[in-house]
Amino acid sequence: MERIIKFLAIIIICITGIITSVRAEELTMQQLTTPTNVPFSDCFKTYNLSADNLYYYALDSIAANRFEIKELQSKSGYIIFKAAGREFLAAVAYYGPNKSILKITPANNSYYFAPGIVLNIFKFIDMNLNEQIKEIPKS
């Protein structure tokens, strides 16, 4: 009988742990999608890439996140895109030899938006840094 009680206690602890970990993941997702005041420091990131390469990574990331690209200008290094009903400006700037910075800011200067928009773009770039940029042959 004592053995059965200990076994049941272990099962209950395991189930509680699984539920808690799933709940923590939901809270994180909710925090990413709930509009909050996003600090300006969370809206830019420095990369050890040339500005041209970072521009293409940013463009790929915006497209992969299924945001609507409104306008892009490769010479000046900016992309205007729409996410969650708002427009954002992604600007790439030269920061040093093989170093550049990506800044993503809301077009209306209201920093009350879902932080996941910016963080997902940065995450996608971080995950794909080792991928080669390839030119697609024209058909």
pLDDT of residue 12: 54
Predicted confidence at residue 31, as pLDDT, reads 55
CA distance 64 to 32: 17
Q: Going from the first residue of the chain to its last (139 residues), give the mean pLDDT of each consecutive group of 10, the final group possibly shorter.
A: 58 49 44 78 93 92 92 90 93 91 94 91 91 70
Pairing of strands 36-37, 112-113: antiparallel
d(CA 6, CA 24): 27
Q: Distances from the Cα of 92 to the Cαs of 15, 43, 51, 106, in angstroms?
A: 47, 12, 6, 15
Model pLDDT, residue 34: 77
pLDDT value for 97: 86
Residue-level pLDDT at 61: 92
pLDDT of residue 69: 93
What is d(CA 30, CA 115) in angstroms, rounded to the nearest whole number? 10
Q: Is residue 89 within 8 Å of 96, Cβ to Cβ?
A: no
pTM of the model: 0.73
User: Using N-to-C axis directions, what is the helix angle for 2-33 and 116-127, rounded to 10°?
Assistant: 100
What pLDDT, on the 0 to 100 scale, is given for residue 2? 62
The rounded radius of gyration (Å) of the Cα atoms in the chain is 21
